[in-house]
Chain A
Amino acid sequence: MGQIGFRMVALLFWNTQQGKVGSLVPLICNQYDVDVVVLAEEERTSEEIFAGSFGSGSSSYSEYAPVKSKIRFFFRNGSGILRMVSDADERKSIREFIPTAGPACLVAGAHIISKLRTRESDQYFAARILKNAVEQAEIAVGHNRTIVIGDMNMNPFEEGMLAADGLHGMMTKSIVIKQSRRVQGQKHSFFYNPMWSRLGDESHGPAGTYYHGPGGAISPYWHTFDQALLRPSLVPAYERGFLEVVTQINGTDLLSNTNFKQSDHLPIVLRLIF
Protein backbone atom coordinates (compact mmCIF):
# COMPACT_ATOMS: atom_id res chain seq x y z
CA MET A 1 0.00 0.00 0.00
CA GLY A 2 2.74 2.51 0.93
CA GLN A 3 5.66 3.54 -1.23
CA ILE A 4 8.97 1.73 -0.84
CA GLY A 5 10.90 3.16 2.10
CA PHE A 6 7.83 4.86 3.50
CA ARG A 7 5.50 3.68 6.21
CA MET A 8 1.75 4.26 5.94
CA VAL A 9 -0.19 4.48 9.20
CA ALA A 10 -3.98 4.21 9.04
CA LEU A 11 -6.49 4.99 11.78
CA LEU A 12 -10.18 4.19 11.80
CA PHE A 13 -12.75 5.98 13.91
CA TRP A 14 -16.36 4.87 14.08
CA ASN A 15 -19.24 5.53 16.42
CA THR A 16 -20.69 2.05 16.06
CA GLN A 17 -23.92 2.82 17.92
CA GLN A 18 -23.93 -0.04 20.42
CA GLY A 19 -22.60 -2.59 17.99
CA LYS A 20 -25.20 -2.12 15.26
CA VAL A 21 -22.46 -2.37 12.65
CA GLY A 22 -22.24 -6.13 13.04
CA SER A 23 -19.12 -7.57 11.43
CA LEU A 24 -18.20 -4.46 9.45
CA VAL A 25 -15.34 -3.32 11.70
CA PRO A 26 -12.91 -6.08 10.69
CA LEU A 27 -13.98 -5.73 7.07
CA ILE A 28 -13.17 -2.03 7.00
CA CYS A 29 -9.87 -2.76 8.77
CA ASN A 30 -9.02 -5.21 6.06
CA GLN A 31 -10.10 -2.87 3.29
CA TYR A 32 -7.91 0.01 4.50
CA ASP A 33 -5.13 -1.92 6.21
CA VAL A 34 -5.95 -0.12 9.46
CA ASP A 35 -3.33 0.01 12.23
CA VAL A 36 -5.27 1.69 15.03
CA VAL A 37 -9.02 1.42 15.60
CA VAL A 38 -10.85 3.88 17.84
CA LEU A 39 -14.49 3.13 18.57
CA ALA A 40 -17.20 5.01 20.44
CA GLU A 41 -20.49 3.65 21.76
CA GLU A 42 -19.17 0.13 21.27
CA GLU A 43 -20.20 -2.25 24.04
CA ARG A 44 -19.34 -5.64 22.56
CA THR A 45 -16.30 -7.58 23.60
CA SER A 46 -13.21 -7.47 21.43
CA GLU A 47 -13.90 -11.05 20.34
CA GLU A 48 -17.43 -10.16 19.27
CA ILE A 49 -16.29 -7.12 17.30
CA PHE A 50 -13.61 -8.98 15.39
CA ALA A 51 -15.25 -12.41 15.38
CA GLY A 52 -14.23 -14.69 12.52
CA SER A 53 -14.58 -12.17 9.75
CA PHE A 54 -11.09 -12.44 8.41
CA GLY A 55 -9.98 -14.81 5.76
CA SER A 56 -6.63 -16.52 5.88
CA GLY A 57 -3.72 -14.10 5.79
CA SER A 58 -5.77 -11.27 7.25
CA SER A 59 -4.64 -9.25 10.23
CA SER A 60 -5.70 -9.77 13.81
CA TYR A 61 -6.44 -7.03 16.30
CA SER A 62 -6.11 -6.65 20.07
CA GLU A 63 -7.79 -4.24 22.40
CA TYR A 64 -5.67 -1.97 24.56
CA ALA A 65 -7.70 -1.20 27.68
CA PRO A 66 -5.45 -0.51 30.68
CA VAL A 67 -8.24 1.47 32.33
CA LYS A 68 -11.96 1.56 31.72
CA SER A 69 -12.96 4.07 29.04
CA LYS A 70 -15.90 4.69 26.73
CA ILE A 71 -13.40 5.36 23.95
CA ARG A 72 -11.97 2.01 23.00
CA PHE A 73 -8.61 1.47 21.30
CA PHE A 74 -7.52 -1.54 19.25
CA PHE A 75 -4.33 -2.13 17.30
CA ARG A 76 -3.34 -4.46 14.52
CA ASN A 77 -1.03 -7.08 15.96
CA GLY A 78 2.49 -6.49 14.72
CA SER A 79 1.86 -2.88 13.66
CA GLY A 80 3.22 -1.36 16.86
CA ILE A 81 2.14 -0.77 20.43
CA LEU A 82 -0.20 1.56 22.25
CA ARG A 83 0.61 3.02 25.63
CA MET A 84 -1.30 5.00 28.20
CA VAL A 85 -0.95 8.76 28.30
CA SER A 86 -4.05 10.18 29.91
CA ASP A 87 -7.75 9.88 30.50
CA ALA A 88 -9.27 13.32 31.00
CA ASP A 89 -12.67 11.75 31.45
CA GLU A 90 -14.60 8.79 30.17
CA ARG A 91 -15.17 10.51 26.83
CA LYS A 92 -11.60 11.62 26.18
CA SER A 93 -8.72 9.14 26.19
CA ILE A 94 -5.22 9.81 24.95
CA ARG A 95 -2.85 7.04 23.94
CA GLU A 96 0.53 7.01 22.20
CA PHE A 97 0.88 4.78 19.16
CA ILE A 98 4.46 3.64 18.70
CA PRO A 99 4.64 1.92 15.30
CA THR A 100 7.18 -0.73 14.45
CA ALA A 101 8.64 1.78 12.00
CA GLY A 102 8.14 5.52 11.90
CA PRO A 103 7.59 8.12 14.59
CA ALA A 104 5.29 7.75 17.58
CA CYS A 105 2.02 9.69 17.49
CA LEU A 106 -0.37 10.79 20.17
CA VAL A 107 -3.91 9.69 19.44
CA ALA A 108 -6.61 11.54 21.36
CA GLY A 109 -9.91 9.71 20.99
CA ALA A 110 -12.99 11.72 21.88
CA HIS A 111 -16.74 11.47 22.01
CA ILE A 112 -18.06 14.87 22.99
CA ILE A 113 -21.53 15.10 24.49
CA SER A 114 -24.45 15.39 22.11
CA LYS A 115 -26.50 18.49 21.34
CA LEU A 116 -29.58 16.40 21.97
CA ARG A 117 -28.80 16.17 25.66
CA THR A 118 -26.92 19.37 26.42
CA ARG A 119 -26.28 22.96 25.41
CA GLU A 120 -23.75 24.20 22.88
CA SER A 121 -21.87 25.98 25.66
CA ASP A 122 -21.31 22.59 27.33
CA GLN A 123 -19.81 21.27 24.10
CA TYR A 124 -17.49 24.26 23.96
CA PHE A 125 -16.55 23.53 27.57
CA ALA A 126 -15.81 19.91 26.66
CA ALA A 127 -13.65 21.03 23.73
CA ARG A 128 -11.60 23.22 26.03
CA ILE A 129 -11.10 20.33 28.44
CA LEU A 130 -9.94 18.18 25.53
CA LYS A 131 -7.56 20.85 24.28
CA ASN A 132 -6.04 21.19 27.78
CA ALA A 133 -5.70 17.41 28.11
CA VAL A 134 -3.95 17.24 24.72
CA GLU A 135 -1.51 19.98 25.68
CA GLN A 136 -0.73 18.23 28.98
CA ALA A 137 -0.20 14.98 27.12
CA GLU A 138 2.14 16.62 24.63
CA ILE A 139 4.25 17.89 27.52
CA ALA A 140 4.22 14.44 29.14
CA VAL A 141 5.44 12.60 26.01
CA GLY A 142 7.74 15.37 24.77
CA HIS A 143 6.36 15.74 21.24
CA ASN A 144 3.30 17.13 19.50
CA ARG A 145 2.70 14.65 16.71
CA THR A 146 -0.92 14.61 17.76
CA ILE A 147 -4.08 13.35 16.12
CA VAL A 148 -7.47 14.16 17.63
CA ILE A 149 -10.07 11.80 16.27
CA GLY A 150 -13.64 11.09 17.25
CA ASP A 151 -17.30 11.99 17.30
CA MET A 152 -17.17 15.65 18.24
CA ASN A 153 -20.94 16.16 17.98
CA MET A 154 -20.04 19.55 16.53
CA ASN A 155 -19.39 20.65 12.98
CA PRO A 156 -15.98 22.09 12.04
CA PHE A 157 -17.46 25.59 12.02
CA GLU A 158 -18.84 25.47 15.58
CA GLU A 159 -17.19 27.30 18.47
CA GLY A 160 -15.65 24.35 20.26
CA MET A 161 -13.94 23.15 17.09
CA LEU A 162 -12.82 26.54 15.84
CA ALA A 163 -12.18 28.83 18.82
CA ALA A 164 -8.59 29.58 19.77
CA ASP A 165 -9.14 28.18 23.26
CA GLY A 166 -11.07 25.22 21.83
CA LEU A 167 -9.60 22.81 19.31
CA HIS A 168 -8.61 25.62 16.95
CA GLY A 169 -9.11 23.48 13.85
CA MET A 170 -8.22 25.41 10.69
CA MET A 171 -9.31 24.64 7.15
CA THR A 172 -6.03 25.11 5.27
CA LYS A 173 -2.52 23.77 5.69
CA SER A 174 -1.03 27.15 4.78
CA ILE A 175 -2.50 28.69 7.94
CA VAL A 176 -1.66 25.74 10.17
CA ILE A 177 2.04 25.68 9.28
CA LYS A 178 2.31 29.00 11.11
CA GLN A 179 1.95 26.75 14.21
CA SER A 180 -0.06 29.12 16.41
CA ARG A 181 -1.53 32.56 16.80
CA ARG A 182 -1.89 34.99 19.66
CA VAL A 183 -5.30 36.01 20.90
CA GLN A 184 -5.46 38.71 23.53
CA GLY A 185 -1.85 38.02 24.47
CA GLN A 186 -2.12 34.24 24.76
CA LYS A 187 -0.56 31.81 22.29
CA HIS A 188 -2.86 29.09 20.92
CA SER A 189 -1.55 26.24 18.77
CA PHE A 190 -3.40 25.21 15.63
CA PHE A 191 -4.83 21.95 14.45
CA TYR A 192 -5.39 21.21 10.78
CA ASN A 193 -8.92 19.93 10.24
CA PRO A 194 -9.27 18.21 6.85
CA MET A 195 -12.97 17.71 7.54
CA TRP A 196 -13.56 21.28 6.35
CA SER A 197 -12.96 19.84 2.88
CA ARG A 198 -15.61 17.15 3.41
CA LEU A 199 -18.61 19.45 3.76
CA GLY A 200 -21.44 19.46 1.27
CA ASP A 201 -22.38 18.05 -2.08
CA GLU A 202 -19.28 18.95 -4.01
CA SER A 203 -16.82 17.55 -1.50
CA HIS A 204 -15.05 14.23 -1.97
CA GLY A 205 -17.46 11.65 -0.55
CA PRO A 206 -20.80 12.23 1.18
CA ALA A 207 -22.00 15.65 2.37
CA GLY A 208 -21.20 14.82 6.00
CA THR A 209 -20.84 11.91 8.40
CA TYR A 210 -24.20 12.12 10.16
CA TYR A 211 -27.67 12.91 8.89
CA HIS A 212 -30.31 14.50 11.09
CA GLY A 213 -33.41 16.16 9.69
CA PRO A 214 -34.45 19.65 10.71
CA GLY A 215 -35.39 20.17 14.34
CA GLY A 216 -35.36 23.96 14.37
CA ALA A 217 -34.98 27.07 12.28
CA ILE A 218 -31.38 26.28 11.37
CA SER A 219 -30.55 22.81 10.11
CA PRO A 220 -27.97 21.78 7.52
CA TYR A 221 -29.47 18.23 7.47
CA TRP A 222 -25.99 16.75 7.04
CA HIS A 223 -23.48 17.16 9.84
CA THR A 224 -19.76 16.49 9.94
CA PHE A 225 -19.50 15.38 13.54
CA ASP A 226 -16.88 12.68 13.01
CA GLN A 227 -13.54 14.37 12.55
CA ALA A 228 -9.79 13.93 12.58
CA LEU A 229 -7.49 16.85 13.35
CA LEU A 230 -3.73 17.04 13.01
CA ARG A 231 -1.08 19.15 14.67
CA PRO A 232 1.14 21.13 12.25
CA SER A 233 3.98 18.63 12.82
CA LEU A 234 1.88 15.94 11.11
CA VAL A 235 0.74 18.03 8.16
CA PRO A 236 3.71 16.94 5.99
CA ALA A 237 2.59 13.33 6.55
CA TYR A 238 -0.90 14.10 5.26
CA GLU A 239 -1.60 14.12 1.54
CA ARG A 240 -4.73 15.19 -0.29
CA GLY A 241 -7.42 12.52 0.04
CA PHE A 242 -5.84 10.81 3.05
CA LEU A 243 -9.00 11.42 5.06
CA GLU A 244 -11.88 9.34 3.80
CA VAL A 245 -15.50 9.19 4.91
CA VAL A 246 -16.28 5.57 4.20
CA THR A 247 -19.56 4.70 2.49
CA GLN A 248 -18.83 1.25 1.06
CA ILE A 249 -17.45 -1.70 2.97
CA ASN A 250 -16.86 -4.87 1.07
CA GLY A 251 -19.97 -4.36 -1.06
CA THR A 252 -22.16 -3.05 1.78
CA ASP A 253 -23.54 0.40 0.98
CA LEU A 254 -23.66 2.40 4.22
CA LEU A 255 -25.82 5.05 2.54
CA SER A 256 -28.56 2.69 1.40
CA ASN A 257 -30.94 4.86 3.40
CA THR A 258 -30.40 8.20 5.08
CA ASN A 259 -30.76 6.78 8.57
CA PHE A 260 -27.75 4.56 7.87
CA LYS A 261 -29.01 1.11 8.67
CA GLN A 262 -25.76 0.03 10.38
CA SER A 263 -24.94 3.07 12.50
CA ASP A 264 -26.19 6.64 12.41
CA HIS A 265 -22.57 7.74 11.88
CA LEU A 266 -20.28 7.00 8.97
CA PRO A 267 -16.77 5.76 9.71
CA ILE A 268 -13.71 7.83 8.88
CA VAL A 269 -10.26 6.57 7.96
CA LEU A 270 -7.18 8.77 8.30
CA ARG A 271 -3.92 7.82 6.66
CA LEU A 272 -0.50 9.34 7.21
CA ILE A 273 2.74 8.57 5.45
CA PHE A 274 6.13 8.78 7.13
Chain B
Amino acid sequence: MSKSLWNMPDSESVLGPVQIMREQGEILTRSTDGKLQYNIQTSGSGQEIVNDFNIVVPSLGFYIYTVGRYVQRPLAIYPGRFHSQLIGEWKEISDESVFRGYLGYVLGSQAAADLIKTLLSQVA
Protein backbone atom coordinates (compact mmCIF):
# COMPACT_ATOMS: atom_id res chain seq x y z
CA MET B 1 0.00 0.00 0.00
CA SER B 2 1.36 3.38 -1.01
CA LYS B 3 2.11 5.95 1.64
CA SER B 4 -0.17 8.99 1.50
CA LEU B 5 1.63 12.19 0.70
CA TRP B 6 -1.46 14.30 1.45
CA ASN B 7 -1.53 16.56 4.45
CA MET B 8 -5.14 15.63 5.21
CA PRO B 9 -6.96 17.68 7.84
CA ASP B 10 -8.83 16.00 10.66
CA SER B 11 -12.34 15.75 9.24
CA GLU B 12 -13.82 16.39 12.72
CA SER B 13 -12.23 19.83 12.79
CA VAL B 14 -13.84 20.97 9.50
CA LEU B 15 -17.29 22.16 10.45
CA GLY B 16 -18.77 24.37 7.79
CA PRO B 17 -22.23 25.84 7.35
CA VAL B 18 -23.44 22.76 5.46
CA GLN B 19 -22.62 20.47 8.39
CA ILE B 20 -24.16 22.88 10.87
CA MET B 21 -27.35 23.20 8.83
CA ARG B 22 -27.46 19.42 8.51
CA GLU B 23 -27.23 19.07 12.32
CA GLN B 24 -30.16 21.43 12.72
CA GLY B 25 -32.10 19.61 10.01
CA GLU B 26 -31.65 16.32 11.86
CA ILE B 27 -32.92 17.95 15.06
CA LEU B 28 -35.99 19.26 13.23
CA THR B 29 -36.74 15.85 11.74
CA ARG B 30 -36.34 14.12 15.12
CA SER B 31 -38.44 16.63 17.01
CA THR B 32 -41.32 16.42 14.52
CA ASP B 33 -41.23 12.60 14.30
CA GLY B 34 -40.26 12.83 10.64
CA LYS B 35 -43.20 14.99 9.65
CA LEU B 36 -40.80 17.73 8.63
CA GLN B 37 -37.63 16.63 6.92
CA TYR B 38 -34.80 18.58 5.36
CA ASN B 39 -32.25 18.58 2.63
CA ILE B 40 -29.24 20.66 1.73
CA GLN B 41 -29.15 21.45 -1.95
CA THR B 42 -25.83 22.63 -3.29
CA SER B 43 -25.56 24.30 -6.66
CA GLY B 44 -23.08 26.63 -8.19
CA SER B 45 -22.09 28.45 -11.25
CA GLY B 46 -19.07 30.58 -11.92
CA GLN B 47 -17.58 32.14 -8.85
CA GLU B 48 -19.97 31.06 -6.09
CA ILE B 49 -21.43 27.99 -4.44
CA VAL B 50 -24.99 28.17 -3.14
CA ASN B 51 -26.11 25.89 -0.29
CA ASP B 52 -29.85 25.91 0.33
CA PHE B 53 -31.20 24.66 3.66
CA ASN B 54 -34.67 23.34 2.80
CA ILE B 55 -37.49 22.04 4.95
CA VAL B 56 -39.21 19.23 3.06
CA VAL B 57 -42.74 18.10 3.93
CA PRO B 58 -43.31 14.61 2.46
CA SER B 59 -47.02 14.51 3.24
CA LEU B 60 -47.58 17.80 1.43
CA GLY B 61 -46.33 16.43 -1.86
CA PHE B 62 -42.72 17.03 -0.85
CA TYR B 63 -43.29 20.74 -0.46
CA ILE B 64 -39.97 22.57 -0.11
CA TYR B 65 -39.42 25.74 1.87
CA THR B 66 -35.97 27.27 1.69
CA VAL B 67 -35.20 28.41 5.22
CA GLY B 68 -31.80 29.82 4.42
CA ARG B 69 -29.18 30.15 1.74
CA TYR B 70 -25.42 30.22 2.38
CA VAL B 71 -23.29 31.57 -0.44
CA GLN B 72 -19.56 31.03 -0.44
CA ARG B 73 -16.52 31.01 -2.69
CA PRO B 74 -15.53 27.52 -3.90
CA LEU B 75 -12.19 27.45 -2.10
CA ALA B 76 -13.19 29.03 1.22
CA ILE B 77 -16.02 28.01 3.55
CA TYR B 78 -15.72 31.37 5.31
CA PRO B 79 -16.30 34.23 4.78
CA GLY B 80 -19.65 33.95 3.08
CA ARG B 81 -23.13 35.39 3.30
CA PHE B 82 -26.39 33.96 4.54
CA HIS B 83 -29.92 34.91 3.65
CA SER B 84 -33.15 33.76 5.21
CA GLN B 85 -36.52 34.83 3.89
CA LEU B 86 -37.76 34.56 7.47
CA ILE B 87 -35.64 37.61 8.30
CA GLY B 88 -35.37 39.12 4.85
CA GLU B 89 -31.81 40.34 4.71
CA TRP B 90 -28.29 39.17 3.95
CA LYS B 91 -25.84 38.67 6.81
CA GLU B 92 -22.09 38.62 6.28
CA ILE B 93 -20.59 35.52 7.90
CA SER B 94 -16.95 35.73 8.91
CA ASP B 95 -16.52 32.44 10.77
CA GLU B 96 -18.23 29.47 12.39
CA SER B 97 -19.27 31.25 15.57
CA VAL B 98 -20.94 34.08 13.62
CA PHE B 99 -22.73 31.50 11.47
CA ARG B 100 -23.92 29.51 14.49
CA GLY B 101 -25.08 32.67 16.22
CA TYR B 102 -27.00 33.97 13.22
CA LEU B 103 -28.53 30.60 12.34
CA GLY B 104 -29.69 30.38 15.95
CA TYR B 105 -31.27 33.81 15.63
CA VAL B 106 -33.11 32.74 12.45
CA LEU B 107 -34.27 29.33 13.67
CA GLY B 108 -35.25 30.72 17.06
CA SER B 109 -37.29 33.57 15.59
CA GLN B 110 -41.04 33.93 15.89
CA ALA B 111 -41.22 33.75 12.08
CA ALA B 112 -39.60 30.30 12.14
CA ALA B 113 -41.97 29.15 14.88
CA ASP B 114 -44.95 30.38 12.85
CA LEU B 115 -43.67 28.56 9.77
CA ILE B 116 -43.25 25.25 11.63
CA LYS B 117 -46.68 25.63 13.18
CA THR B 118 -48.27 26.37 9.77
CA LEU B 119 -46.62 23.38 8.13
CA LEU B 120 -47.39 20.96 10.97
CA SER B 121 -51.01 22.06 11.03
CA GLN B 122 -51.35 20.86 7.42
CA VAL B 123 -49.67 17.51 7.94
CA ALA B 124 -52.14 14.67 8.11
Residue positions of A touching B, CB distance < 8 A: 66-68, 83-90, 96, 125, 128-129, 132-133, 136-137, 140-141, 165
With both beta carbons as reference points, the residue of chain A lying nearest to B111 in the complex is identified as A68
Give A21 Cβ to nearest chain B Cβ, in Å.
25
Contact B85 A87 (CB under 8 A): yes
Contact residue among B45, B61, B69 (Cβ-Cβ distance under 8 Å from A84): B61
Contact A132 B61 (CB under 8 A): no
Q: Number of contacting residues on B, CB 8 A?
A: 25
In the docked arrangement, what's the CA distance between A84 and B66, Å?
Answer: 13
Query: Which 6 residue pairs across A and B have the least CB separation, nearest first?
Result: A86-B64, A90-B85, A140-B62, A84-B63, A89-B85, A87-B65
Given pairs A67-B65, A68-B114, A129-B50, 4 additional interface contacts (CB within 8 A) = A66-B122, A83-B61, A86-B64, A87-B64
Contact A85 B63 (CB under 8 A): yes
Residues of B within 8 A of A90 (CB): 85, 88
Contact A136 B41 (CB under 8 A): yes
With both beta carbons as reference points, the residue of chain B lying nearest to A137 in the complex is identified as B64
CB<8 Å pairs between A and B, sample of 13: A68-B111, A68-B115, A83-B60, A84-B61, A86-B54, A86-B65, A88-B64, A89-B66, A90-B85, A90-B88, A132-B41, A137-B64, A165-B45
Secondary structure at the A interface, as helix, strand, loop or mixed, is mixed
Residues of B within 8 A of A137 (CB): 64
In the docked arrangement, what's the CA distance between A89 and B52, Å?
Answer: 10
Residues of A within 8 A of B66 (CB): 86-89, 133
Of listed A85, A96, A141, residue having the most chain B CB within 10 A: A85
Residue positions of B touching A, CB distance < 8 A: 41, 43, 45, 48, 50, 52, 54, 57, 60-66, 69, 83, 85, 88, 111, 114-115, 118-119, 122
Residues of B within 8 A of A140 (CB): 61-64
Contact A89 B61 (CB under 8 A): no
With both beta carbons as reference points, the residue of chain A lying nearest to B45 in the complex is identified as A165
In the docked arrangement, what's the CA distance between A83 and B61, Å?
Answer: 9
Residues of A within 8 A of B43 (CB): 128, 132
Contact B69 A136 (CB under 8 A): no
Contact A66 B118 (CB under 8 A): yes
Give A259 Cβ to nearest chain B Cβ, in Å.
29
With both beta carbons as reference points, the residue of chain B lying nearest to A83 in the complex is identified as B61
In the docked arrangement, what's the CA distance between A87 and B68, Å?
Answer: 11
Decide: A136 near B64, CB < 8 A? Known: A89-B83, A89-B85: yes
In the docked arrangement, what's the CA distance between A133 and B69, Å?
Answer: 13
Residues of B within 8 A of A67 (CB): 65, 115, 118-119
